[in-house]
């Protein structure tokens, strides 16, 4: 049977040993010294002149007097004398005078924020690191704060994400249940992107900021503009839906040219407008009006306009511009009327447009 333990070198009580309490007390003394190790200092080479009983130190290089030749050891002052303990790799100690945590690496004591620990390959905070993420943390809140000027800092806080080439990715990935739901950053290019996904595979860009111009594009913005490519006849005194059948653009396919309707894709506030140009039938005295209808029935407040003066063929116009709070699935139509005489709404100069603003 060995005389001492392999890790802390605590003496074992031997069979038929006399004064067993001496060996037992020595083992307790070693535990008392090295367990929950806190030292008064680790940067002294000279023993203090009036040490307190039970005080511990880590002896710095070049120890003198009683500390000579005990560099790196833990010194305990007890019963008027110094005792020394040789550390083993992995021992940790709290250094009171520096408010620092140190660890013994088998050769020397180093601070846990020492440059010698800068190349740690993995670090898990509250969890084991995950494959592909050598730094992993499981927590409910995190705070990053600037080092204030009064504390020797600049007062600013910058966090840099760097990538190697334009085709690489640099940014934030937002997940639910470890399945991606949104991206924010430089993904696949140097343009700033905000993208969402419902399945973690197919991504839809909500915003793209061009890195060369700073101009922001909204690729998924619901918007449309269309014109009529034929003269729309309107009988006297009858509201008539205008056929907007030639689309200049139709993002997200929100306008149905077959029904001449804007189909609201999502709840929100929309800006809508129209321009209608008069074309005479038998008389230029026709009074021209227009309005926008929700679901073909309800006029949008502020969208009804009318021109009652004498009209000029191909030159007299009326316009609509309005905001409307619309619900997903609703439709909006452009309607026109000739009050006293029949007439036409002119081809290629009568249009209807809109887009989501909020």
pLDDT of residue 76: 87
| 206 in the same domain as 265 | no
Tokens of residue 326, six digits: 């619309």
C-alpha to C-alpha distance for 222 and 268, rounded to whole angstroms: 11
Tokens of residue 222, six digits: 């619901």
pLDDT of residue 28: 52
| 350 in the same domain as 300 | yes
Tokens of residue 200, six digits: 């973690």
Look at residue 300 and tell me if it is in a domain.
yes
The CA distances from residue 93 to 5, 37, 66, 191, in Å, are 21, 5, 22, 49
The CA-based diameter of the chain, rounded to the nearest angstrom, is: 132
| 289 in the same domain as 186 | no
Asked if residue 195 lies in contact with residue 183, where contact means CB atoms within 8 angstroms, the answer is yes
Q: CB within 8 A of 32, min separation 6: which ones?
A: none
pLDDT at 272 over 90: yes
Look at residue 201 and tell me if it is in a domain.
yes
Domain encompassing residue 207: 160-215
- Mean pLDDT value of segment 55-71: 94
Q: What are phi and psi of 280, to 5 degrees?
A: -70, 150
pLDDT of residue 317: 92
More confident residue, 230 or 120: 230
Look at residue 37 and tell me if it is in a domain.
no
| 343 in the same domain as 227 | yes
| 254 in the same domain as 166 | no
Domain endpoint, select from 184, 199, 215: 215
pLDDT of residue 118: 63
pLDDT at 7 over 70: no
| 252 in the same domain as 205 | no
Look at residue 331 and tell me if it is in a domain.
yes
Question: pLDDT tens for residues 123-162?
Answer: 888 888 888 888 899 999 999 999 999 999 999 999 999 9
Buried b (16+ CB within 10 A) or exposed e, 132-171: eeeebeeeeeeeeeeeeeeeeeeeeeeeeeeeeeeeeeee
What CATH number is associated with residue 304? 2.60.120.40
- Mean pLDDT value of segment 82-101: 89
Look at residue 111 and tell me if it is in a domain.
no
Look at residue 211 and tell me if it is in a domain.
yes
pTM of the model: 0.62
- Mean pLDDT value of segment 277-295: 90
Q: Which of 82, 77, 85 is nearest to 30 (CA)?
A: 85
pLDDT tier, 75 (very low <50, low <70, confident <90, very high otherwise): very high
Report the percent of the chain where pLDDT is more than 90. 68
pLDDT at 108 over 70: yes
Look at residue 335 and tell me if it is in a domain.
yes
pLDDT tier, 30 (very low <50, low <70, confident <90, very high otherwise): low
pLDDT tier, 90 (very low <50, low <70, confident <90, very high otherwise): confident
- Mean pLDDT value of segment 44-51: 92
- Mean pLDDT value of segment 116-126: 74
**Full DSSP string of 24-70:** HHHHHHHHHHHTT-EES-SSBSS--SSPPTT-EEEBPTT--GGGTT-
Q: Which of 241, 207, 247 is nearest to 227 (CA)?
A: 247
Kind of pairing, strands 135-137 and 169-176?
Answer: unpaired
pLDDT tier, 5 (very low <50, low <70, confident <90, very high otherwise): very low
Question: pLDDT tens for residues 293-345?
Answer: 999 999 999 999 998 877 888 789 999 999 999 999 999 999 999 988 899 99
Look at residue 33 and tell me if it is in a domain.
no
pLDDT of residue 6: 42
| 320 in the same domain as 294 | yes
pLDDT at 220 over 80: yes
Asked if residue 222 lies in contact with residue 216, where contact means CB atoms within 8 angstroms, the answer is no
pLDDT of residue 9: 47
| 272 in the same domain as 292 | yes
Tokens of residue 275, six digits: 């321009």
Length of the chain: 358
pLDDT tier, 287 (very low <50, low <70, confident <90, very high otherwise): confident
pLDDT of residue 313: 84
| 177 in the same domain as 208 | yes
In the chain, the N- to C-terminal Cα span, in Å, equals 81
- Mean pLDDT value of segment 16-29: 54
pLDDT of residue 140: 95
| 288 in the same domain as 181 | no
The number of domains in the chain is 2
Tokens of residue 306, six digits: 């009318």
- Mean pLDDT value of segment 38-62: 92
pLDDT of residue 21: 47
Instruction: Give me the residue label for tokens 């013994």.
Output: 104
- Mean pLDDT value of segment 230-237: 95
| 352 in the same domain as 227 | yes
| 297 in the same domain as 194 | no
- Mean pLDDT value of segment 29-40: 69
């Amino acid at each position: 049977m060995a005389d001492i333990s392999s890790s802390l070198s605590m003496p074992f009580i031997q069979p038929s040993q006399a004064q067993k309490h001496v060996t037992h007390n020595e083992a307790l003394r070693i535990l008392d010294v090295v367990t929950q190790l806190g030292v008064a200092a680790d940067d002294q080479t000279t023993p203090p002149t009036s040490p307190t009983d039970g005080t511990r130190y880590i002896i710095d290089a070049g120890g003198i007097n009683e500390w000579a030749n005990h560099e790196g050891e833990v010194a305990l002052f007890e019963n008027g004398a110094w005792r020394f303990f040789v550390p083993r790799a992995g021992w940790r100690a709290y250094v009171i005078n520096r408010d620092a945590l140190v660890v013994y690496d088998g050769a020397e004591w180093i601070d846990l924020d020492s440059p010698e620990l800068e190349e740690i390959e993995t670090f898990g905070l509250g969890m084991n690191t995950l494959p592909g993420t050598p730094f992993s943390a499981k927590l409910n809140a995190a705070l990053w704060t600037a080092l204030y000027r009064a504390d020797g800092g600049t007062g600013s806080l910058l966090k840099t994400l760097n990538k190697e080439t334009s085709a690489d990715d640099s940014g934030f990935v937002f997940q639910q249940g470890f399945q991606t739901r949104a991206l924010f950053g430089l993904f696949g290019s140097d343009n700033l992107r905000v993208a969402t996904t419902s399945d973690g595979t197919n991504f839809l860009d909500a915003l793209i900021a061009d890195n060369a111009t700073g101009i922001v594009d909204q690729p998924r913005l619901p918007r449309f503009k269309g014109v009529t490519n034929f003269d729309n006849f309107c009988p006297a005194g009858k509201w008539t839906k205008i056929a907007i059948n030639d689309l200049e653009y139709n993002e997200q396919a929100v306008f149905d040219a077959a029904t001449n309707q804007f189909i609201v894709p999502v709840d929100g506030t929309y800006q809508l407008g129209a321009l209608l140009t008069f074309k005479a039938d038998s008389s230029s005295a026709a009074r021209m009006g227009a309005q926008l209808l929700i679901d073909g029935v309800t006029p949008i407040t502020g969208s009804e306009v009318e021109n009652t003066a004498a009209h000029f063929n191909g030159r007299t116009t009326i316009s609509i511009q309005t905001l409307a709070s619309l619900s997903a699935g609703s439709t909006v139509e452009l309607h026109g009327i000739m009050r006293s005489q029949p007439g036409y709404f002119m081809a290629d100069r009568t249009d209807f447009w809109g887009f989501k603003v909020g």
